[in-house]
Amino acid sequence: MALPRSVDVLKEIATEYGVCIRPLAMRRTDLDTGLTEVIDLPCGATREDKCPPCAKKNRRLRQAQIREGWHRDDEPLPGPKPATEAQKSLNLFRAHLEFSRDEAVRAAQWDQVADLDEAIREVEEAIAAEGLRGRVGPPHGSVDDDQDEEPGRRRKRSTKRRQDAPELPRRKIERRTVGKTYTAADGTTYRPSMWLTLTLDSYGPARPGGTPINPDRYDYRRAAWDAVHFPRLLDRFWQNLRRCEGWNVQYAGCVEPQRRLAPHAHFAIRGTIPRDVLRTVAAATYHQVWWPSVDVQRYTLDRPPVWDEQAAAWVDPDTREPLTTWTEALDAIDDDPDAEPVHVVRFGAQVDARGVMPGTEDAERAIRYVTKYITKHTGDVHKVATDRQRAHLDRLWQQLRITPCTDRCPNWLLYGLQPKKAHAKLKPGRCKGKVHQRDTLGIGGRRILISRDWSGKTLADHKHDVRAWVRALLGVTTDGMQPVDGQGATAERVRHAWELARPDDPDVGPMTHRLMRSISERARWRAELLAAKDRAAQGSPDLSATQHNGQHMGEERH
């Protein structure tokens, strides 16, 4: 039993060589010859516990993206290139999945819908890996809480500023995204940038290890709601800052938990902004949540409301009275002239901002800092070492379990309300929403936040850059994932159809074989790459310009 399992050893070697350990098999059919071939695409996981090589590669790409955008001095306005055949056929396949999903929804085959959603996610990753920018379509099941049940009818909400929020100056926003350049007396020019940290308010006095001094008086409810709505607050901050500064300020940053487990955010900002402006905007920024009241928890997880098949509604377990519907609850808020938002999120007083000069070790350190934890789950960022920390994490999680995440969250039942689109299968306290999970600690949204005009490129573009660079070095000229057949490789484009292959399809083969093939390929490929680099170093100057990128982003190991 002490001997290691061979599949584990293979995975270890694969990890060492940067080969994906849970590849996604895609079947590619050559439409001219009818030949099919199964190609392993990397899974593209961003977390180490799923696939360390993919997570590491993703981190390197993010670092490259941040590095490239931070101190740039020209406006990023790239023109798109025409799509390749491979890209078109992947998009066609994506369209087929969309059609099937729609059919499944009509037939109420929910298990199939879930499968198809998973397939759609996978194909979209493949599309991204092919070097296309943006999503084909918005993800399904996205919830926009500003939209009401009846289309066309939009609710009026109070948007009047609260008394305690200072007014901000407003300027017309220029299209500029690049910061100012400063010239010193000797003619040297500087284009400094900024590093900014935004935190949330205090929920009660804490010890150095992040745990509350008095757990009973620590405001877990506010902590949970603040965490859930933190992404919206950040969005507002950037809107307000751009309006106040009058130019299209760009940022790249991350959301991570502090020791006390509340989210905070670090940002690299292109250009400089006076520190007091950043502080004023942070202090003035808030996000109001216009949901029904959660002051009274009317039901517990042990004794929740029950579904009444005949009434097609959730009812009180004792009186069988139907609970208030979502529409009724929102109507009540609209009709009440004194209604207050159920929650208002604001930043805490601690706003750290400092200047960073391009090309310095300080700038590199900041980039590493932004990407430091992205391969880990939020819940694993800080080691839980003491009983006190364990208890703190558990109390926060218990609170998150019963916090409503969206207007469709089953948790509304606990507060005597039927959520929007209520149905029989709701399970309060068991919502699958990301914010409720122990490994997210309320940080359910994107952890890396990069503004649209940061580098003028998406992550997929940066992936594409890496491939283009490697191909240039190896002299591969096709647009495929590997050099085409032995026929001498004219750059002729082949028409291909793609489909997802299932792991048990006869042409897919056992995972161990697939891993071995990929490892061998990668080993050969790495040797070739090293040799090509040596040749490049000895002569051809045209590659040296891009070599810098490659060293940081290339798929070789460090």
**Beta-carbon neighbour count of residue 296 at 10 Å?**
8
Q: 217 vs 430, which CB is nearer to Zn ion?
A: 430
Q: What stretches of 130-256 show up as alpha helix (H) in DSSP? A: 220-245
CB of 258 to Zn ion, least distance (A): 23
Amino acid at 281: V
CB of 12 to Zn ion, least distance (A): 14
Rounded-to-integer distance, Cα 304 and Cα 498, Å: 47
CB 414 within 8 A of CB 299: yes
CB of 240 to Zn ion, least distance (A): 28
Q: 43 vs 366, which CB is nearer to Zn ion?
A: 43
Could you tell me which residues come within 8 angstroms of residue 509 by beta carbon, excluding any fewer than 6 positions away? Answer: 38
Which of 286, 409, 297, 299 shows the shortest CA–CA distance to 343?
286
Q: 54 vs 200, which CB is nearer to Zn ion?
A: 54
Q: 206 phi and psi, to 5 degrees?
A: -125, 155
Q: 330 vs 515, which CB is nearer to Zn ion?
A: 515
CB of 431 to Zn ion, least distance (A): 3
Q: 392 phi and psi, to 5 degrees?
A: -65, -50
CB of 160 to Zn ion, least distance (A): 29
CB 87 within 8 A of CB 126: no
CB of 23 to Zn ion, least distance (A): 7
Q: 404 vs 554, which CB is nearer to Zn ion?
A: 404
**H or E element: which one contains 331?**
helix 326-335
Q: 64 vs 405, which CB is nearer to Zn ion?
A: 405
Rounded-to-integer distance, Cα 334 and Cα 8, Å: 59
Which of 441, 382, 395 shows the shortest CA–CA distance to 217?
395
Q: 409 vs 413, which CB is nearer to Zn ion?
A: 409
Which of 175, 358, 374, 368 shows the shortest CA–CA distance to 255?
374
CB 213 within 8 A of CB 207: yes
CB of 89 to Zn ion, least distance (A): 23
Q: Residue numbers of the site for Zn ion (CB under 5 A)? A: 20, 42-43, 51, 54, 405, 409, 431, 433
